Structure formats: structure tokens, C-alpha cells
Structure 1
Amino acid sequence: MAINYSDSAICGELLKDDLNIIAGQGTWRENSKIFSKYTGFVKEKNNIISVTPLNGVYMPKKDDFVIGQILRVGFNNWSVDINSPFVAMLYLSELKEFIKNGDDIENYYRKGDVLYLNISAVTKSKFVNVSMKPTMCKKLYDGLIISVCPTRVKRIIGKSGSMIKLIIQKTGCNILVGQNGLVYLNNGNIDLAIKTIRFIEKKFLEKNLTKRVEEELNSNS
């Protein structure tokens, strides 16, 4: 019997027995049956069924916003650690600023600098380019960065940003969540914000999680 789509699936579990459904990411097909490759969330949309693993590394996707750290300064680019198996490249052409010929690019970003960036391109060979052009992108200064499981990021952000807006409102923190599993916090009640984020990580499978989080925040305010 196929699972209910409000549930999670375990590795090898039958998801669907239907030739009209396409086996998407995180699944495999045997004749008419589709099985899960992972223990994780099940999603069915437009006749495609897929599974997102509960745990895993960040795989870059175009248009994601991520937090990264400069690893190396090149002649006309920077290598950036984006908490992924793949190092990203930031080129001069992807800055907001105009850099004149002969300018020392270390005047802009140095090794160790932390940035909020946009994934501008990912090739089939997994060459990753990042950009600082979008308005939200910037260098991050005083603050704290914590790591979360990349597959929990959607729950931490919430639908239309509802969850992270709630945390910001209740804690007074400035928070940026990278889709690569890194979260930047400064100002406000950082301890409460971190406690809440860890609570979401632990309880992410629960229904009505936003209400539970609001109750937790109110009881700790």
C-alpha cells in the first residue's frame, strides 16, 4: 500500500503504483511502482513525485541565496566556500561596484570575509558562480553564524517567510538564512533565536509548527 502524502517515507518504501506518475528526484521506478531512495519528505506536484532527504549536504541551485566565506583571492575573482562539496567563484563582473583597471581587489573582499550571495549559475559539471548584484547581497560584519541541516531550511524560513519573520519579530534579531544551511544573526536576543531555530530543526515534521514555535517564543520572552 502506498504511503499517505502527509507522511514522510523511509528508504525503499513504496510511494506510488501508477504508470501515469513520473519518478522524480530521490525516487526510483520498477515497472509501475515508484520507491523512495531516502528517508525524507514526499512531495507530489504536476504528476511528479519526489523525496527530499531528511539529512544531507547542500547542492547548489541557481537563484539560491547563500552565506559564504572567501577562501582565496585570485587575479580577477574570489573562491568562496558555500558549505557545499563545490567551491563557488565570484568574478569582478558580479559585483555591484565598478572596479577600475589596476585596483587591488582585496580592497573589496579579503580572505575570511563572509558574504550573503546569490547563486547565479550552476553548470552540469557543477561549476558554481555566485553574484553580489542582487539588492539583498552584502558583506556580513559583527554577528554569529550557526549551521543547520540544509534540508531544514524551508521549515526555518516558513511559507512566504512566515516562520523567520515570527522569530525576527519576537527576538529583535537581524537574521539571514542561507539555503546552504548557514544562518547569520546579530543584535536582539540571539540566544532565544538560536534556541527557536534548534526547536524547529527538532520538530520539523510536526503539523501546526508555526503555532508551536509562537507558543515557545511567548513562553521564553
Structure 2
Amino acid sequence: MRSGFEKKGNQKVENQLLSNRDLVVPGDALYEGRIRIGDNTYRSQERVCATRIGLVNYNKNMVSVIALEAGFNPLTGDLVVGDVIDIGLGKWIVDIDAATNAALNVPDAIDAPFRTDIDMPSILDIGDTVVAKIVDLDRRRTPILTILGRDLGKVTTGFTIRFTPSKIPRLIGRNGSMVNMILRATGCNIAIGQNGRVLINGRTREQEEMAVSTIQKIEREAHISGLTNRVQEDLRELKEEKR
């Protein structure tokens, strides 16, 4: 028989079937009773269950699952880093690691209407990388991009690494705390795509290596508590080693 529990730390509360951050698999029951359902969950009669492998998260009046491995689900407003893979009539086709390739129309790249005499490869060619924003999803759920705006456009310096999309919030941190810590410590410019591609550009190879090492650590340990303190300590040690 279940009784009420004090809501403190990782302890269970009434109607909560697991402890916060417990590992779950699809079909696991997470909560019994009335509560808002969040990401990667569904309601089955009076219970809320998981749809993905991940960590259960109880937050006020909502239960959700932080997926440990999940693909990119594009949403309007997302910042993405992608590669041009084809050129069509009046648009570029961009691979953003989604189920459907994205479209970048000429007006959203040069802020001018499409004309047949435009030399599109001279603007963006196959193989070019862009930092873009999703401005819309069409009826087929094709992401529509723009590269007009601050910090958007063709990538001319730096390199990209891949990062699990579902763990991007941990890389960014609360109010940008984690990525800002990396920026200050490494001196690199970093653009984080919600699609799991991270653009890194530093003044020196050592700076870039420090940023890559830190980002990879965050991906490996995203599900472990106390991550911020560990990253802070690692950055301090890395800086001392470079002196």
C-alpha cells in the first residue's frame, strides 16, 4: 500500500510512482492521477507512462521524460546548423538531421525576390554550411529556413561537431549558464543548433580543443547531477595545464 511522501530532493511524492531522475523505458508507469503530461509521455487511463528511454522528471504539476537518445524534432524558432545538399528552382535544400530536409528560399537568403538570372551557387553551393533559423513548417512538415538575421548565414570559419539533440538543454544550461561558462573559459565563439550540431570557432587550436573536450564531457554526463560543478572544475584544470 502506498502512502504520501515528502517532496524533497529525489524522494517520491504522493501519486508519483518513481523517484525523480529514475531511468525509464517505453511503457513504464510514471504517475497515477491527474497531472499535466510533458515531453515523451502519454496518458493510459489513470496513469502517465513513458514513450522513450530516458530519465523521468517531476516538475511541479507536470511529469516528463528526458530522452537519452532522441532525434531532432524541428520547431518554428529553432536555431539549426545544416549543410546545403542540393540546389533547386529558387531554393537550396539543407540537411539539418531531421526526418525531412529543410528548404532555404532565395528571399530568405538574400532579402530579394528570386530571379532566373541569379547565380545561386555563387551565394551558397553544395557542401556549404549555414547557421539558420526555422521560420515555418509547411503542410508536409518541411522546415523553412532563413539566414537573414544576427549571427545567421554562411559559415566561413570554424568547424562543427555533433551532439545528441535531446541533451542540448544541458549544453545551454539554465539561462545560458553552461555555454556562457564555456565561452568565458575558452574564448571560442560557439553556435548551438537545436538539431545537435555545434559550431566552434576559436582563435587558437588549444582553445578549440578545450571547448570540444568540455562539450563532449557534457554529452557523456548530461544525466548525472552535479554536472555544472564538474565542468567548472575541469575547465579550471584545463586552463592551468595550458599555462
* TM-score, scaled to structure 2: 0.83
In 2: Cα distance, 1:42 partner to 1:121 partner: 31
Q: Distance in 2 between matches of 1:123 and 1:4?
A: 40
Correspondence 1:62-211 to 2 at 5 A: 62-98=76-112, 101=115, 102-123=117-138, 125-187=140-202, 188=204, 189-211=207-229
Distance 1:24 1:184 in 2: 29
**What's 2:45 paired with?**
31
Query: Max radius of gyration: which structure?
Result: 2
Give me the whole-angstrom Cα distance separating, in 2, the residues matched to 1:200 and 1:71: 30
Please say which of residues 134-143 and 109-118 is displaced more in the overlay.
134-143
1:2 aligns with 2:20: no
CA distance in structure 1 between the aligned counterparts of 2:52 and 2:31, rounded to whole angstroms:
15
Q: How far did 1:99 drift? A: 5.5
In 2, Cα distance between the equivalents of 1:22 and 1:100?
46
Residue 49 (structure 1) aligns with? 63
Name the CA shift for 1:44/1:121 in 2 (closer, same or farther; >3 Å): farther
Letter in structure 2 aligned against 1:168: L
Instruction: Mark the runs of 5 or more structure 1 residues left unpaired by the alignment.
Output: none
Contact persistence 2:90–2:114 (CA under 8 A): no
Q: Which of 58, 61, 74 lines up with 1:60 in the alignment?
A: 74
Amino acid at match of 1:167: I
Task: Call closer, same or farther: CA 1:33–1:151 in 2, change over 3 Å.
Answer: same
1:109 and 1:9 map into 2 onto residues whose CA distance is: 44
Whole-Å separation in 1 of the counterparts to 2:210 and 2:53: 30
Q: Report the Cα distance in structure 2 between the residues aligned to 1:96 and 1:122, rounded to whole angstroms.
A: 20
**Is the contact made by 2:107 and 2:114 (CA closer than 8 Å) also made in structure 1?**
no
Q: Displacement, 1:154?
A: 0.9
Give secondary structure in 2 for the equivalent of 1:80: strand
- Name the SS for the 2:181 alignment partner: helix
Q: Distance in 2 between matches of 1:24 and 1:174?
A: 33
Q: Distance in 1 between matches of 2:186 and 2:141?
A: 38
Answer whether contact 1:3 1:9 (CA < 8 A) is retained. no
Q: What SS does the aligned partner of 2:49 have?
A: strand
Could you tell me whether the CA contact under 8 Å between 1:66 and 1:116 is conserved in 2? yes
Higher mean Cα deviation, 27-36 or 54-63? 27-36
CA distance in 2: counterparts of 1:43 and 1:94, whole angstroms: 38
Deviates more, 1:32-41 or 1:83-92: 32-41
Please give the alpha-carbon distance, in whole angstroms, between the structure 2 residues aligned to 1:36 and 1:142: 41
The amino acid across from 1:68 in the alignment is G
Q: Secondary structure at the match of 2:175?
A: helix
Give the secondary structure class of the aligned counterpart of 1:129: strand
Gaps of 5+ in 2: 1-15
Query: Equivalent residue of 1:95, what SS?
Result: helix
- Partner of 2:127, secondary structure, is coil
Which residue in the other structure is 2:3 paired with? none
Equivalent pair of 1:68/1:81 in contact (CA under 8 Å): yes
Which residue number in structure 2 is paired with residue 218 of structure 1? 236
Secondary structure of 1:134's aligned partner: coil
Is the contact made by 1:120 and 1:129 (CA closer than 8 Å) also made in structure 2?
A: yes
Letter in 2 for 1:12: G
The structure 1 segments of at least 4 consecutive aligned residues displaced by more than 4 Å after TM superposition are 43-48
RMSD over aligned Cα atoms: 2.0
